Amino acid sequence: MSLSSPILIIGDPYAGKNNVLGIKKKFPQFKWITKSLDTDGLNSIRAEVGTFSFDDSEKAFILQELPDRKQVREFVIDLVSSKISTYFIVWDSENHIKIDPKTKSMGKDWKDFLDRFKDIHGSKIINNDAPFTEKDNNSVVNFIADRFAYYGKQIDFREARLLINIVGFDRGLLDSDIQKMSLICPEVVTSDFILDNAFPSSKEAVIYKLGNIIDTGNYEDSLNMMEKFLSSGVNENKIADVLIKKARWQLIIASLWKEGMHWDDIPSKIMEMGKFPSSIWHNEEMDIPHKKRESEILNTPEGMYRHVTVAMGIPKRYIKSRDEKKNKKLSETIPQYFMASQVVDFVRNIADVNPSVSNAEIKGKLMNRAIKVYQFLQNKLFDIREGQNPVQDLQEMIRVMTNRDLTAF
């Protein structure tokens, strides 16, 4: 089997990376040399191409980081169309060769470059298409379904969306993950399988996987998952942030139940919130009379801020006021309904597993636990950011979060 040359790889950078790795793996007999067309200097690249290997092995060049400069484009065409007995892969790793979303067409300079590259004898162009973005939800879901179908597996829309939330929109990472999962997954891919096996390449993965274990209330399993993330390079602050958000949703759930909302209605309610505080709290009334019911007070961002800082007793430094946040984008959400149900079930279970607490006291006790857990985690977050003993701080955060004994608070 011979290697085509020159090869131009364009489109999704992650898929392009997989192309490069695949070619290198298929042709290990070559001496592979990677050069940056942006920073290595064109003369030094030409000089390297013109020299022989000490061991007489054939050279193969990966020319990446192709910049949007006429001089470089001319250099590439001249180099790869020469009669030098060398193999070339030109990889647009920065994704400059693409369709402009405004004009719906490719720039003239890049179009001319592609046309000239195609005219080179023996050339090959690998087009991985444009990278997926959040606007391409349906396209990404279809891509995932098609890739699983290629391996004889089936995945439904809900599970495909879950995979996107964990792995992200990178085509190459998705393709790689699907290929690996297809070796061991059931005929119909389930949410549980994805949660257990999808590669944690996004922040949501930490939320799903660690949060999923936290909601079981199992301290040892939660510690093991935390240590797994730490060993894979996840920052302590990110894990602490995930725990804080989990505690904040527990606080909201406890508050809604204390105000009389039925457990079955809470998941939909917190899914509507979207952000904290979100538009569901918004109300045009700026003045909040003291005699208003608590549920009405919670209908304004000002009322929510006052409620959690005054009525609940959470220090103001933990939650910024509306004025402090009005120019900042708020984006804390629960992206999947089953996740909302899972958090609600955890809080509900706390109420169910404390038979020593009377029905008259249970709502107040549950609310008190939620407040204290949230305060404790916030204090630990400050300790983690100081960096004295972050792993121990995380262990203590998890210990408190998984403690469902209301008499301990």
Instruction: Output the 3-class SS for 283-349.
Output: CCCCCCCCCCCHHHHCCCHHHHHHHHHHHCCCCHHHCCCHHHHCCCCCCCCCCCHHHHHHHHHHHHH
Question: What does pTM read for this prediction?
Answer: 0.50
Query: Would you say 251 and 374 are in contact if contact means Cβ atoms under 8 Å apart?
Result: yes
Examine the pLDDT at 252 and tell me if it is beyond 70. Answer: yes
**Which of the residue ranges 129-133, 179-183, 366-370, 386-390 would you say has the lowest mean pLDDT?**
129-133
Residue 40 is predicted with a pLDDT of 92
Say how many Å lie between the first and final Cα of the chain, rounded: 69
DSSP state of 132: P
Q: What CATH topology corresponds to 7-127?
A: Rossmann fold (3.40.50)
Q: How confident is the model at residue 309 (pLDDT cuts 50, 70, 90)?
A: low
Residue 204 is predicted with a pLDDT of 55
What value does the mean pLDDT take over residues 152-165?
88
Pairwise CA distance, residues 76 & 71, whole Å: 9
How far lies 37's CA from each of 3, 63, 94, in Å? 22, 6, 11
Give the tens place of pLDDT for each residue, 281-297: 333 332 333 334 444 44
How far lies 16's CA from each of 7, 91, 126, 334, in Å? 12, 7, 8, 32
Average pLDDT, the chain: 81
> Residue 118 class from Cβ within 10 Å (0-12 exposed, 13-18 middle, 19+ buried)?
exposed
Q: Does 208-274+332-408 match 134-201 at the fold level?
A: no
Examine the pLDDT at 327 and tell me if it is beyond 80. Answer: no
Tell me the CATH architecture of domain 208-274+332-408.
Up-down Bundle (1.20)
134-201 has which CATH code?
1.10.8.60
What value does the mean pLDDT take over residues 308-334?
53
Residue 253 is predicted with a pLDDT of 92
Pairwise CA distance, residues 12 & 171, whole Å: 7
Q: How confident is the model at residue 396 (pLDDT cuts 50, 70, 90)?
A: very high
Residue 291 is predicted with a pLDDT of 37
DSSP state of 188: B
Examine the pLDDT at 408 and tell me if it is beyond 70. Answer: yes
DSSP state of 262: -
Q: Which two tokens stand for residue 342?
A: 């899972």
For a pLDDT cut of 70, what percent of the chain falls above it? 82
Residue spans per domain, the chain: 7-127, 134-201, 208-274+332-408
Q: 18 versus 337: which is more confidently predicted?
A: 18
Give the tens place of pLDDT for each residue, 53-92: 677 778 899 999 999 999 999 999 999 998 777 899 999 9
Residue 282 is predicted with a pLDDT of 34
What value does the mean pLDDT take over residues 29-33?
92
* Cβ contacts of 70 within 8 Å, gap of 6 or more: 109
Q: Which two tokens stand for residue 361?
A: 């006291």
Pairwise CA distance, residues 208 & 162, whole Å: 9
> In what helix (H) or strand (E) does residue 254 lie, and over which residues does it extend?
helix 236-258
Pairwise CA distance, residues 56 & 26, whole Å: 20
Strand-strand pairing, 124-127 and 87-91: unpaired
Give the tens place of pLDDT for each residue, 162-195: 888 777 787 877 888 898 899 999 999 998 888 7
Determine if the peptide bond prior to 28 is cis (ω within 30°): no
Residue 206 is predicted with a pLDDT of 63
The CB-side HSE value for 262 (13 A sphere, CA atoms) comes to 2
